[in-house]
Each structure stands twice: as C-alpha cells, then as structure tokens.
Amino acid sequence: MGKDWTKEIPEGAFISSPTYKVGEYFNLYKTDEAAGMKYYFFDPTEHGFEKGKSYPVFVFLHGYTNALEGDVCINYTGAEFFATEKYQKSFGGAYILVPLANEKRNSEGKVVDSWSEEYVGPLYDLINQFIKKHADKNGGAGKKLLWGNSAGGRMVYLMGEKYPSFFNILIPIGADELPEDSVIDKWDENNVHLFLAMGKRDEFNDYNGSIIPRLPRLEKMKHSFIFTPDWVYNGDKGIASINFGTEMGQHCLVNPMACNLLFDDGTYMDERLPNGLTEWIFKAVKGE
C-alpha cells in the first residue's frame, strides 16, 4: 500500500482534511439512466445559461467503490463544485455527467464490477445517449472533457485510446497507465488536450517507474500539462491525509483538483496556474 510518508513531511508542515463541505451542491444534480447504468447530470440551461446554445460536456468518472456511496460519489469524482455558479461562469457553462459503474459487493464483501475494459463500449454509448437526450435537443454538445480519478483515471486512458477523436480534453488523476506513443500521436493528430495529475508520492501508483520514463514524450505533446506535486495539499495548506488502515493522502489529489488548485486564501498551488485549473479548462475548451 506504500510506505508511511507521514514521517517525511517537511519541517513545519501539518496534516489536514479537506476544508470544503461535502454535499452542499448535490441539489444542482438530477439522475437518469442509459446503457444499463445510472448517472447524475447537471444542465446549465436549467441554471441561468442561455437555451438553444451549444455547451461543452464534462464527464467525471469515480474511483473504485465510490459508486456504492450514493450521492457522495458526485463529490468523490471531483464534479460537485463544477456545477456551482462560480465554476460555470469561469468556462461559460457546461453540461456535467457523472456515470456510475454497476459496482456491488460479492458474498465475500469484495467490491466487483467496477470500471474495467468491459465498460469502454457501454460508457461510450451512455455518453452519446446523454448528449442525444439532454444536449442535442437544446443546441447540441460542444467539446467533450473526460476526467477520472484513480480507477476512473485508468478509464480516461482506456477511453482516450479507443476514441481519440471523440474526447477533446483528458484529465486523468491518480493513475499511471499511460498509453503507447502511437496513441499519444493520435491525440496530437486530433489536438487532444491532456492534463495529467499524479502525486510523486502516490501510494498506489509508481511515479518513478511509470511516469518519469514517459515525460519526454508527454512534454512534446501539442497540448499537455503535467501536474505532479511532491506533496498533495488541502485548502488550508495542510498535507492531505485519509487514514483507513493505511495512511493515504498523496492519492487524494482529486480533492485539490476539485478545488481549482487554489488554496482557501486564493493563492495558487502551481505557479503556472495563477487563476486555477478552470482557466486551463476554459482555454482547452476554446482550443488554445
């Protein structure tokens, strides 16, 4: 599960929990079903944005076991705050889609049927059915963003490999299953924007073995942003941590990502993103 990194934190640093309130914006989401899966969604035209206009579609994929958490899964994907007025205005409105894998516990209590290669086709169908039902009737869908955390991050790579011309923006978080160069070449051909996010001290992924050797090719992409912080922080500038049998904090990168990579006092977590992650997303949506 990884070593106890808590013994290595910088002098003067402290460990903390997320500073935001979970569930404050769940009321902005509705539910529906498609391709044999349930999903949550947010429609910008039902919250003040002009009808009859095309908006991008942001798809958020949860991590392993998160589909069993009910509405809390919205937050665990990192999607919750993207439905807020502040976030929506920052990129001009967007549909938000949160599909749920058909996770369940077997007789031994183990969670099964989480995201895997078997979901690639059905998930693609779900996204298209969502667009047809909720977006096409009202101006259509613009750019498509696929964001995933942990097991959802692995699905981002799988979906991006299978459909390199369908998804315009890929944001894998806490996953190290990078595709071959030939796939990245396809992304470049299709002007795909990649935002790769993984902590250097991630407990479940091998940054040194999986990411570092691939950095030269990733950095040569037409549109890539590599965010690999040494420590993962919460809004109060404390180091992220969840203790559930193993000390896990560096795998919690979705938390600051959901908070726009800004601290609670408005200062940035990465000097390249002085106005936060949403500005990068806005530019990617515009194709910059």
C-beta atoms surrounding 248 within 10 Å? 18
The mean-pLDDT minimum among 46-55, 128-137, 152-161, 241-250 falls in 241-250
Show Cβ contacts of residue 123 under 8 Å, excluding neighbours closer than 6 positions: 35, 37, 99, 155, 159
260 closest CA partner among 78, 10, 105: 78
62 closest CA partner among 130, 146, 145: 146
Residue 275 binned pLDDT confidence (cut-offs 50, 70, 90): very high
List 61's β-bridge partners, or say none. 148
Give percent above pLDDT 90 in the chain: 89
The pTM of this model reads 0.96
pLDDT tens digits, residue range 128-144? 999 999 999 889 999 99
pLDDT tens digits, residue range 22-61? 999 999 999 999 999 999 999 999 999 999 999 999 999 9
Residue 1 binned pLDDT confidence (cut-offs 50, 70, 90): very low
